[in-house]
Chain A
């Protein structure tokens, strides 16, 4: 399972070279941003102070990292032991995901060295962002501790491994609590901007929309990321194809229910504030594409895939759902935001913003790969078989 790097030339794989170029470029742009100001590396303006880095790196990133709390809740609180094999990769993805969200935030903040200020200098507890900052900080710590069992097994630290193992239930409960709070509060941020977010996306219940869609995102990412890992790291997988397919099919069932729930509450929100007439506008078309193409359609796919026991259909639906979540978060933060502003004041990301985003995702993939190749994430450590 370990990769002894005997030959330095072995490191020059196509993947490594491309990743290195992307990361180097990202670092260079980061240097530019910090020496010449945000204006030098972004297209942000006074009308649109939040662009790709907030809309994608932070908001979408948090939603897509929701697989961690979803699966730990299912396995440790609801006792669904058959999903044990995917807990560790999910928790690792969650931890890396949130770490990268913080990186994205640091690049975007005007004075990131002041990030601890709300907790050590002066708090603004009326702000939704205060709660998000607190919860993300605590949840990152929780995910970190939840990721240590694999590391301790790899390092042979038996006592520490036993200690963190005993904390699993408490960490799971804490993680679900924190996730409920910050996933929904990311939506609640827009309660303070009722005139700037388009009515079809704005609702008093936007926090519930965000929380439910985060669960859908988590389930779909578990399926997508699990399938990718199974292909790429197939030499490490210990469970059979049948067992993995069973897991996929079971996740599909959950996906169907959550997406249906989401569809219902989105439609309900239109009815609650009598917004039907907006559906006939261009923004209404955008909304319907998001709702029908990326929520209703994969819901149907999960439904059929579960009934007919077809893992491939479930995987395709999961990919569509992930795209749909990205689409939704970008709609709320960018496309359907400032919807009444004239076109010349709207926002298009600077290529440097896109490069940095890609670099951040690449960094995550590189670290994930490094860890999975060495630590018992996709397989069990021989000395710790069958334990927790």
Chain B
């Protein structure tokens, strides 16, 4: 009894979930803002000079990179962006038999459909028409869901601040772009490993480079489609998995993956009231019918008992009457006999 009802509820939950994951937007596709900017990072050209780190820190009023760019020991460990350094260059492959070492610059990827924007419950992130994803500290509550969710580990948090901690990350130098300048890292790179331009142009350029030198490049522009695509595109001769990037992931954006279930929410709110009120009404009805049945049975039993008693009483009354008649007849007989005896005796005297 409790089994089937519970199972019923679970079935509803699973069914509505299945319906919800069918597609948050139906079958629409979103191209994003036309003409938005991006950056192309050609890993084959990067020499690990970290000029980009120095320029980024300077433009964002952060202290100079520690250890300084000349110090190569920094590459012994993988680093990630922090609240005081929004971008880092890591060494992914050491120099080996005439092959140069392979470096890659890591920072916020400014995704087409940003995960951080979709998980923020105060809508603190916006994808701008120009391309950069911006953060608004004036509404941030500090829940750090964005920091926890970003697949590129690009966000940092100011844990050392008690009253105004912010989420911090690369901004794609949005103020500079608005002034018609290039992001500081693209400006600073001496090797041309970072190219700034319209994303659609950069994809064409990337494909051109790959076409011209197929033995030097893997035939894939990373960031074109992965998780819905990013503003930072990466090309190079080393497989992307070895560069600390995702290989073989879906083209579905993370908001799409995450939002499917949330479509179930209005469904549950719409269905539950009627369903649960109905279950309540059913159980009340069952109770009422059971009670009515019980009452009817009791009534019948009482009636039947009444009938039985009546019969018993009348037959007892009859028997009593019969006994009484017999007794009376006996008494009369006895009296007559005695009277006869008495009159006989008197006669003989």
Which A residues are closer than 8 A to B by beta carbons?
33-40, 42, 44-47, 49-50, 74, 76-80, 109-112, 114-115, 117-118, 121-124, 126-131, 133, 169, 173, 176-177, 180-181, 184-185, 188-189, 191-196, 204-205, 207-208, 211-212, 215, 250, 253-254, 257-258, 261, 265, 342
The interface stretch among B181-189, B214-222, B271-279 is B271-279
Which of B141, B153, B254 is in CB contact (< 8 Å) with A111?
B141
- Contact between chains at B143 and A109 (CB < 8 Å): yes
- For the complex, what is the distance from the CA of A205 to the CA of B13, rounded to whole Å? 10
- Cα separation A261 to B122 with both chains bound (whole Å): 36
| Shortest beta-carbon distance from A139 to chain B in Å | 13
Interface centre among B13, B151, B159, B279 (most CB of A within 10 A): B159
Interface string of B266-284 (1 = CB under 8 A from A): 0011001100110110011
- Contact A173-B280, Cβ < 8 Å, known A46-B147, A80-B2, A195-B249: yes
Residues in A with CB closer than 8 Å to B329 are none
Instruction: Mark out the residues of chain B between 152 and 180 whose CB falls within 8 Å of any chain A CB in the assembled complex.
Output: 153, 155-165
A76: chain B residues at CB < 8 Å are 280
Whole-angstrom CA separation of A34 from B147 in the bound complex: 21
B10: interface (CB < 8 Å): yes
Closest to B167 in A: A110
A114→B139 contact, CB < 8 A: yes
| B75-83, B302-310, B336-344 - the one binding chain A | B75-83
Q: Is the CB of B14 within 8 A of A50?
A: no
Whether B123 contacts A122 by the Cβ 8 Å rule is yes
Kindly state the separation between the CA atoms of A129 and B122 in the bound complex, as whole angstroms.
10
A207: nearest chain-B partner, CB-CB? B261
Cα A126 to Cα B149 with chains together (Å)? 14
Are A208 and B13 also in contact (CB < 8 A) when A77-B280, A131-B262 are? yes
Which 6 A-B pairs give the minimum distances between C-beta atoms? A110-B142, A39-B159, A192-B258, A49-B144, A124-B123, A130-B121
Contacts A111-B163, A111-B165, A195-B151 supplied; 15 other A-B pairs, CB < 8 Å: A46-B147, A46-B153, A49-B144, A110-B142, A114-B140, A122-B139, A126-B262, A127-B120, A128-B262, A173-B272, A180-B13, A192-B149, A208-B13, A254-B2, A261-B10
Tell me the nearest residue of chain B to A126, going by C-beta.
B118
Jot down 17 A-B pairs with beta carbons below 8 A, ordered by A.
Answer: A38-B159, A39-B160, A46-B147, A47-B153, A50-B144, A111-B163, A118-B141, A122-B124, A127-B145, A129-B121, A176-B276, A177-B273, A180-B268, A192-B254, A193-B151, A204-B21, A253-B2
Please name all residues of chain B whose beta carbon is closer than 8 Å to the beta carbon of A45 when the two chains form the complex: 159
Q: Across the interface, do B145 and A208 meet the contact criterion of CB distance under 8 Å?
A: no
Which residues of the other chain, A, contact B143 by a CB distance below 8 angstroms? 109-110, 129
- Kindly list chain A residues whose C-beta atoms are within 8 Å of the C-beta of B148: 49-50, 193, 196
Q: From B118, which residue of chain A is reached at the shortest CB distance?
A: A126
Q: Are A37 and B159 in contact (CB under 8 A)?
A: yes
- Residue in A47, A49, A188, A257 whose beta carbon sits within 8 Å of that of B6 in the complex: A257
Q: Quick one: which of B318-342 are within 8 Å of A by CB?
A: none
Chain B residue with Cβ nearest A173: B276
> Who on chain A is nearest to B290 by CB?
A79
Q: How far is the CA of A329 from the CA of B155 in the complex (A)?
A: 24
A110→B157 contact, CB < 8 A? yes
Q: How long is the Cα–Cα vector from A86 to B330 in the complex, in angstroms?
A: 74
Q: B13 near A211 (CB under 8 angstroms)?
A: yes
Chain A residue numbers with a CB within 8 Å of B99 are: none
A143 CB, nearest partner CB in chain B, Å:
17
- The 8 Å CB contact of B115, one of A78, A130, A189, A192, is A192
A-side contacts of B165, CB under 8 Å:
37-38, 110-111
The residue that B140 contacts in the complex, of A37, A77, A110, with Cβ under 8 A, is: A110
Q: Which residues of B contact A128 (CB under 8 A)?
A: 119, 258, 261-262
Question: For A33, A133, A250, which residue has the most chain B Cβ atoms within 10 angstroms?
Answer: A133
When the two chains form their complex, are residues B153 and A110 in contact, meaning their CB atoms are under 8 A apart? no
Of residues 73 through 118 on chain B, the ones whose CB sits less than 8 Å from some CB of chain A are 78, 80-83, 115, 117-118
Docked complex Cα distance between A119 and B121 (Å): 10
Measured CB to CB, the closest approach of chain B to A232, in angstroms, equals 28
Contact A111 B276, beta carbon cutoff 8 Å? no
Residues on B with C-beta less than 8 A from A188 are 258, 261-262
Distance of A164 Cα from B217 Cα, bound (Å): 72
Q: Of residues 231 to 259 in B, which have CB atoms within 8 Å of A's CB atoms?
A: 246, 249, 254-255, 257-259
User: Residue B213 at the A interface, CB < 8 A?
Assistant: no
Contact A78 B160 (CB under 8 A): no
In angstroms, how far is the closest chain B Cβ from the Cβ of A332? 12
Q: Give Cα A142–Cα B250 distance, bound, in whole angstroms.
A: 41
Shortest Cβ distance from B105 into chain A, in angstroms? 18
Asked whether, in the complex, the Cβ of B257 is within 8 Å of the Cβ of A192, the reply is yes
Report the Cα distance A189→B118, complex, angstroms: 11
Check if B120 sits within 8 Å of A37, measured CB to CB. no
B2 touches A78 (CB 8 A): yes
Q: Is the CB of A205 within 8 A of B14?
A: yes
CA–CA, A208 and B145, complex, Å: 21
B284 lies within 8 A of A118 (CB): no
Is B260 in contact with chain A by the CB < 8 A criterion?
A: yes
Residue among B117, B142, B158, B165 with max Cβ neighbours from chain A (10 Å):
B142
Instruction: Please measure, in the bound complex, the distance between the C-alpha atom of A45 and the C-alpha atom of B160, giving whole angstroms.
Output: 11
Q: Assess whether B5 is interfacial by the CB under 8 Å rule.
A: yes
B145: contacting residue among A33, A129, A261, CB under 8 A: A129
Cross-chain contact B283 with A79 (CB below 8 angstroms): yes
A188 to B163, CA, bound (A): 30
Return the chain A residue nearest B3 by Cβ. Answer: A257
